[in-house]
Amino acid sequence: MLDRLKEFQKLLVTKNAGRNLKIWLALTIVSILVYLIKPLFALNENQILYLFSSASQVIAAIFGLIITGYIFLRNELDRRADKDETLEEVVLLLKSEYFGSIIGISITTFVSIALCFLVIVAETTQLSTLLSLLINISVSTILTTLIIIISFVITILNPNSIEVASNKLRENTTQDKENESGSLEEFLKNFNQIDYILEKYGTTLLYTDVNDYESARRKRVAKTKLVYILYNEGKIDNDLKNNLIELISLRNSLVHGTDLFVSTRDVLLSEELLSRLKNTLGIR
């Protein structure tokens, strides 16, 4: 599951980069075409120096605020994941998405400030055509940066961000998106039995003072951690470990998402894993 999330993170970064590049190219082409056909504004030396020195400072200040808010946001997401272990994969997905946006904002901010400096330096030269091109490219880059920042702010302020991320996680974990609908009740019934086994047998390996299911539940150990404990102790094999982690991720995405669809293959997988787990641990 972690490998899939890493692949999804790379996909998000690539997707964001492609989208940002398209926005920048569109704005740059429009800006240069307007300049070549009929310029809308004619700036004197003082206006150019004031506008682009101010723009670089404003962009830098906004970037600083964004990074500060992002740090607080990550801490809040980590806090929520600590309080509710079923949010662990969802939070990891959100952090990956937000990190991809921060990369885009960082790159465009750096380029915007660099172009502002170039415009100020170019003002002292006699190359008016080069200066005009730099001004248009700089303005389009600044606008792109502001668009990316606004998009990022809207995304993190979305009150349904957990549900949206859960649905994305479900799309990554479901066995067959095109298969016919299976029984959600049967799926959850199988998972609850798996959950019981993991709590009872996994926690006893971690804590010597645990001797029953209720005391194991009070320890509040994450399900994925219990799976790794059983694997590290040689109780289950690597294939069963990976399948159990994917099943846990699928169940968590169902709990926090809005799409409660499970395929018949998902249900069959839960039955198979329950049977394999019982046989491996010698449970009748």
d(C-alpha 203, C-alpha 198), whole Å: 7
If pLDDT is split at 50, 70 and 90, which confidence band does 71 have? very high
Based on the fold, state whether residues 122 and 6 are members of the same structural domain: yes
- Residue 152 included in any domain: yes
d(C-alpha 267, C-alpha 269), whole Å: 5
- Residue 111 included in any domain: yes
Q: What is the three-class DSSP state of 76? A: helix
The last residue of a domain, from among 112, 127, 157: 157
Q: How many domains does the chain have?
A: 2
The last residue of a domain, from among 97, 122, 157: 157
- Residue 192 included in any domain: yes
* β-pair partners for 206: none
What pLDDT was estimated at residue 180? 62
Based on the fold, state whether residues 81 and 213 are members of the same structural domain: no
- Residue 150 included in any domain: yes
Based on the fold, state whether residues 130 and 187 are members of the same structural domain: no
- Residue 170 included in any domain: no
Based on the fold, state whether residues 119 and 208 are members of the same structural domain: no
The answer to whether the CB of 199 falls within 8 A of the CB of 217 is yes
100 has a pLDDT exceeding 80: yes
What pLDDT was estimated at residue 258? 67
Range of the domain at 207: 178-281
| Residue from 271, 188, 194, 280 nearest 236 by CA | 280
Q: Which two tokens stand for residue 255?
A: 């709990």
* β-pair partners for 154: none
Based on the fold, state whether residues 51 and 94 are members of the same structural domain: yes
What pLDDT was estimated at residue 90? 80
Q: Give the sign of the dihedral formed by CA 78, CA 273, CA 183, CA 171.
A: positive
Based on the fold, state whether residues 105 and 34 are members of the same structural domain: yes
What pLDDT was estimated at residue 125? 74
Based on the fold, state whether residues 116 and 25 are members of the same structural domain: yes
- Mean of all residue pLDDT scores within the chain: 80
Based on the fold, state whether residues 213 and 80 are members of the same structural domain: no
Based on the fold, state whether residues 71 and 199 are members of the same structural domain: no
What pLDDT was estimated at residue 215? 52
What pLDDT was estimated at residue 6? 61
5 has a pLDDT exceeding 80: no
- Residue 33 included in any domain: yes
The last residue of a domain, from among 126, 157, 188: 157
User: Please, how many CA atoms are within 13 Å of residue 89, restricted to the half-sphere of its CB?
Assistant: 34
| 8 Cβ contact list (under 8 Å, min separation 6) | 93, 96, 168, 172
Q: What is the three-class DSSP state of 210? A: coil
- Residue 165 included in any domain: no
If pLDDT is split at 50, 70 and 90, which confidence band does 150 have? very high
- Residue 166 included in any domain: no
With 0-12 CB in 10 A as exposed, 13-18 as middle and 19+ as buried, what is 219?
middle
| 229 Cβ contact list (under 8 Å, min separation 6) | 202, 205, 206
d(C-alpha 42, C-alpha 44), whole Å: 7
Based on the fold, state whether residues 221 and 272 are members of the same structural domain: yes
Based on the fold, state whether residues 55 and 115 are members of the same structural domain: yes
Higher pLDDT, residue 233 or 204: 233
* β-pair partners for 84: none
Based on the fold, state whether residues 150 and 56 are members of the same structural domain: yes
